[in-house]
Chains A and B, each alone.
Chain A
Amino acid sequence: MRNLCLHQEALPGHQDMWEFKMKNNIIKTKAYLQITILIVSLFIFLFLLSDFALVSAQQADYCCEKTDYGAWCMNAPEENCDDNYRKTPTSCDATSFCRQGCCYESQEGLCMENTPQRVCDEKKGTWSDNAECDIAQCKLGCCVLDNQAAFVTLTRCKRLSGFYGLETNFRLDVGNEVACIAVAQAQDRGACVFEEEFTKTCKFTTREACKNIGSTGNMTESEFYKDYLCSAEELGTVCGRSSETTCIEGKDEVYFKDTCGNPANIYDASRQNDPLYWKKVLGKDESCGFGGNNANSKSCGNCDYYLGSLCKESDRLQQPTYGDYICQDLNCYGTSDGKDHRHGESWCSYDGNTGEGRDAVGSRHVRHICVAGEELLEPCADFRQKVCLESETETSAGTFTEAACIVNRWKDCKEQDEQEDCENTDKRDCFWIEGASFIGTTEGNTGESGGVAGVVQGGNACVPNVPPGLKFWEEGESEGICSVASAQCIVTYEKGLFGSKNCIENCECLEDGWAQKMNQVCTSIGDCGGYVNYVGKFAGDGYEWKIGGNKKTLGKGIIDSIKNQAGV
């Protein structure tokens, strides 16, 4: 009995329709028992691999300064090099013109990594032999821009300050982004009072900025009152209370605005007329609805981006009591999985079941993202080369799900003989299958197999947890791969009287269960064997199953079980 595991093929015009074949076999009616397991060529497989390696080596034997398809500094075959540019029969890393380094751009102050010298020179940048841009010009520091901050290079800081009409305030002593933001927030802010055209007016700003106000134009010397709002009656300026609100760039909350247009405290409808609320700056934690996101609240503008709300202009359906701004709800409701998700959450979806070799042919993992009230779909790399992984974190506001597309590390599964190694998720993404083993991987079979690849009943095998997809339309590769899981079982019969025969060894190989097990291994290594595609269609051309030369097919019960396993 022989079960050949073949690659699954697409039907013309439908990429995800797959078929599966099962081939032949011979029944030997001899008096001795023997199980031979054979087939499928590890040799073919290795040959194919070596062939690919050879092609690959041939393909990248030249460093082209520019290729005929317009890419700079690529390792490619000579015929792909643009004749108008340099080429050399070596890797680009070894050339002077295509070495990768850091390209510094002095206008915007950007440092671009992995840039070939030739590309940088062409664009009039400054190239440095340091691919990760660990050079003085690219040293990052804290650029304080009024009440905001950016962790950038000095040149970039000058550029940004120029855009906002601010003096450059660049601090190299601040080591990271978080500390940089803290620096901006820790700045003294308050009412800057000055006289302009015989009127005592005020601007809510930082102490530094206030000094500059006093030294410009036809204004009198300014005076800074830390933590005071411009609307404070004590200051005696023309700025007073109003019912208008505003959003501030870089801030989450809705703020009241005084009659001079300065921001005041966080919008709280109940305190619009409270003189105390218009006197001094109150923190977020001293304002209404602290700890919640106050989404769509008519009376409270204490929005929190990380809790799923942000200051936005209101629409006709959601009108606040005062002003035109409201905390917009950024969470997602009734998403494709039927649940509600919080802003910033991400989760996975699959075309049916996943893991333990169950992924359907043509299926793909998808990462979903909830951001600003919108659900975005981000498919992971095709052929299941990347898989979606999600985890949950318990927070005070409930469970928070995060997902990512990560590399599917299946390549060395087949080489694992021990369950512990197979299931070591630090190193690989494999699945330990019971009741079948690869020849040569199970002790005791090595000798008999004589080094021939294939699958035998009994023992264990390590296979990819999520089987990779195959480019079935390209000749050679998929056939070679799938044949690794082909199997042959020799059943021994004893001749009886009157021409009858009795099975005496490996009789189980005549049963559907044997074929089902072999098929399971076959489908686990890739898009091979008899399986269903992602729309739930079973195709029977991915395997050949023969008993004594007579073709057999998997029974309806097995097919139903396979469909159930795929979950599509």
Chain B
Amino acid sequence: MNKKGQLTVFIIIAIVIVVVLLILFFPSLKVLVSGPEASDYIQECTEDATKEVLEKISLQGGSLEPENYILYQGNKIEYACYTPEYYKKCTMQKPFLKQDIESEITNYIEPRVKQCLADLKSQLEKRGSSVSLQGTEIETSIVPNSILITIKAPITVTKESSASFENFRVNIPSQLYELTMLSSSIANHEARYGDSDSLTYMIYYPDIKVEKKELDEGRVYILTHKPTNEKFMFASRSIAWPPGYVGV
């Protein structure tokens, strides 16, 4: 093989290596080579964003940016039920915890999913396709055993033929439904009686561990789904007792 031939071989190998590295380190470029597998791409993008937000809000009482919170092990945990006064039952702050979380998830993933859709559009256009992307709507539903994300984003891709996508549905396995429903039940108990018994809940729900931590400014509940180790933490302050003789 002459020198020119060798050089060509090396150039080809170098190009292959660069492409492989690009694919490995920039997953979004996969669409360039693997074709417009839009659904998979959007699914992956949505899943990543959702898992990211879940990690945060699960340890913060369901809020991305807690306002009325207790500090526990460096986490700001939002009160689901709260009163600043002593000897009084708490006032419900988050009557619809599940819906609040759904809304927090939607707000967090929306710009990210839109960005992913824009990236997808851009990649497809670079490949010579004409892409029409209309308004995007995202809906989050927390249901037993999973979180359903519905992305309403009508896309039409036209090259030689035309393909359309209307809705993308992403199903993320999660026990958040069970955890939030139980949290709401505990918060309701706190509002009615001023306290709750963690053991009773654990006896009724064998898969869930309920830990109660009494702090100066209220109590923190840590709910853990034992088979998956998924956690949800929230706080409550109800019928608090002052130290010493205050208010005697």
Q: Which chain A residues have a beta carbon within 8 Å of chain B's beta carbons?
A: 45, 49, 52-53, 56, 60, 67, 69-76, 92, 100, 103, 105, 107-108, 110-116, 119-120, 123, 125, 132, 163, 305, 310, 344, 346, 369, 371-372, 374, 376, 378-383, 385-386, 404-405, 407-408, 411, 468-471, 477-478, 481, 526
Q: Looking across the interface, which residue of chain A has its beta carbon closest to that of B144?
A: A163
Besides the known contacts A74-B84, A111-B188, 4 further A-B residue pairs in the complex with CB atoms under 8 A apart: A49-B247, A74-B83, A113-B191, A344-B199
Q: Classify chain B's interface size.
A: 35 or more
B213 sits at the interface (CB 8 A): yes
Is the beta-carbon distance between B226 and A372 smaller than 8 angstroms?
Answer: yes
Q: Decide yes or no: A381 and B241 within 8 Å by CB, A108-B98, A123-B96 being known contacts.
A: yes
Q: A32 to chain B: closest CB distance in Å?
A: 38
Considering the chains assembled together, what is the distance between the CA atoms of A376 and B208 in angstroms? 13
Is the beta-carbon distance between B197 and A404 smaller than 8 angstroms?
Answer: yes
Q: B209 to chain A: closest CB distance in Å?
A: 7
Q: Decide yes or no: A72 and B95 within 8 Å by CB, A380-B214, A383-B244 being known contacts.
A: no
Is the beta-carbon distance between B90 and A471 smaller than 8 angstroms?
Answer: no
Is the beta-carbon distance between B96 and A481 smaller than 8 angstroms?
Answer: no
CB neighbours of A478 from chain B (8 A): 244
Is the beta-carbon distance between A119 and B203 smaller than 8 angstroms?
Answer: no
Q: Decide yes or no: A385 and B241 within 8 Å by CB, A103-B92, A105-B95 being known contacts.
A: yes
Q: B240 to chain A: closest CB distance in Å?
A: 8
Q: A100 to chain B: closest CB distance in Å?
A: 6
Is the beta-carbon distance between A119 and B248 smaller than 8 angstroms?
Answer: no
Q: A176 to chain B: closest CB distance in Å?
A: 15
Interface residue SS majority, chain A: mixed
Binary contact readout B76-93 vs A (1 if CB under 8 angstroms, 0 otherwise): 000101111100011111
Is the beta-carbon distance between A123 and B243 smaller than 8 angstroms?
Answer: no
Q: B241 to chain A: closest CB distance in Å?
A: 4
Considering the chains assembled together, what is the distance between the CA atoms of A11 and B13 in angstroms? 71
Q: Looking across the interface, which residue of chain A has its beta carbon closest to that of B84?
A: A74
Considering the chains assembled together, what is the distance between the CA atoms of A119 and B81 in angstroms? 12
B211 sits at the interface (CB 8 A): yes
Is the beta-carbon distance between A74 and B91 smaller than 8 angstroms?
Answer: yes
Tell which of A92, A108, A114, A376 touches B89, judged by Cβ atoms closer than 8 Å: A114
B202 sits at the interface (CB 8 A): yes
Is the beta-carbon distance between A114 and B191 smaller than 8 angstroms?
Answer: yes
CB neighbours of B203 from chain A (8 A): 344, 371
Is the beta-carbon distance between B216 and A382 smaller than 8 angstroms?
Answer: yes
Q: Decide yes or no: A379 and B206 within 8 Å by CB, A114-B81, A371-B199 being known contacts.
A: no
CB neighbours of B243 from chain A (8 A): 382-383, 385, 468-471
Q: Looking across the interface, which residue of chain A has its beta carbon closest to that of B241?
A: A385
Q: Decide yes or no: A114 and B241 within 8 Å by CB, A376-B211, A380-B214 being known contacts.
A: no
B25 sits at the interface (CB 8 A): no
Considering the chains assembled together, what is the distance between the CA atoms of A369 and B137 in angstroms? 47
Is the beta-carbon distance between B244 and A477 smaller than 8 angstroms?
Answer: yes
Considering the chains assembled together, what is the distance between the CA atoms of A60 and B181 in angstroms? 33
CB neighbours of A112 from chain B (8 A): 92, 95-96, 184, 187-188, 191
Is the beta-carbon distance between A72 and B93 smaller than 8 angstroms?
Answer: yes
Considering the chains assembled together, what is the distance between the CA atoms of A107 and B184 in angstroms? 14
B159 sits at the interface (CB 8 A): no
Considering the chains assembled together, what is the distance between the CA atoms of A52 and B85 in angstroms? 13
Is the beta-carbon distance between A70 and B92 smaller than 8 angstroms?
Answer: no
Q: Looking across the interface, which residue of chain A has its beta carbon closest to that of B63?
A: A70
Considering the chains assembled together, what is the distance between the CA atoms of A344 and B202 in angstroms? 9
Q: B177 to chain A: closest CB distance in Å?
A: 9
Is the beta-carbon distance between A379 and B213 smaller than 8 angstroms?
Answer: yes
B27 sits at the interface (CB 8 A): no
Q: A22 to chain B: closest CB distance in Å?
A: 22
Q: A307 to chain B: closest CB distance in Å?
A: 13
| 9 closest residue pairs by CB, A with B | A70-B67, A383-B243, A112-B95, A385-B241, A114-B191, A70-B68, A115-B92, A71-B68, A470-B244
Q: B243 to chain A: closest CB distance in Å?
A: 4
Considering the chains assembled together, what is the distance between the CA atoms of A103 and B93 in angstroms? 11
Q: Decide yes or no: A76 and B84 within 8 Å by CB, A132-B192, A163-B144, A381-B214 being known contacts.
A: yes
CB neighbours of A379 from chain B (8 A): 213-214
Q: Which of A107, A115, A344 is packed against the most chain B CB atoms within 10 Å?
A: A115
Considering the chains assembled together, what is the distance between the CA atoms of A112 and B209 in angstroms? 23
Considering the chains assembled together, what is the distance between the CA atoms of A405 and B214 in angstroms? 11
CB neighbours of B173 from chain A (8 A): none
Q: Decide yes or no: A71 and B199 within 8 Å by CB, A108-B98, A123-B99, A132-B192 being known contacts.
A: no
Considering the chains assembled together, what is the distance between the CA atoms of A100 and B82 in angstroms? 13
CB neighbours of A381 from chain B (8 A): 214, 241
Q: A99 to chain B: closest CB distance in Å?
A: 11
Considering the chains assembled together, what is the distance between the CA atoms of A114 and B187 in angstroms? 10
Q: B231 to chain A: closest CB distance in Å?
A: 15
CB neighbours of B181 from chain A (8 A): 108
Q: Decide yes or no: A385 and B242 within 8 Å by CB, A114-B192, A378-B198 being known contacts.
A: yes
Considering the chains assembled together, what is the distance between the CA atoms of A200 and B93 in angstroms? 56
Tell which of A56, A120, A386, A468 touches B95, judged by Cβ atoms closer than 8 Å: A120
A-B residue pairs in contact (CB < 8 Å), sample of 7: A70-B69, A71-B68, A103-B96, A105-B95, A132-B192, A374-B209, A383-B244
Considering the chains assembled together, what is the distance between the CA atoms of A113 and B110 in angstroms? 32
Binary contact readout B231-248 vs A (1 if CB under 8 angstroms, 0 otherwise): 000000000011111111
Q: B169 to chain A: closest CB distance in Å?
A: 17
Q: Looking across the interface, which residue of chain B has its beta carbon closest to that of A70?
A: B67
Is the beta-carbon distance between A305 and B199 smaller than 8 angstroms?
Answer: no
Q: A388 to chain B: closest CB distance in Å?
A: 11
Considering the chains assembled together, what is the distance between the CA atoms of A386 and B216 in angstroms? 12
CB neighbours of B244 from chain A (8 A): 383, 468-471, 477-478, 481, 526
Is the beta-carbon distance between A113 and B84 smaller than 8 angstroms?
Answer: no
Considering the chains assembled together, what is the distance between the CA atoms of A119 and B246 in angstroms? 31
B12 sits at the interface (CB 8 A): no
Is the beta-carbon distance between B245 and A125 smaller than 8 angstroms?
Answer: no
B143 sits at the interface (CB 8 A): yes
Considering the chains assembled together, what is the distance between the CA atoms of A385 and B93 in angstroms? 25
Is the beta-carbon distance between A481 and B209 smaller than 8 angstroms?
Answer: no
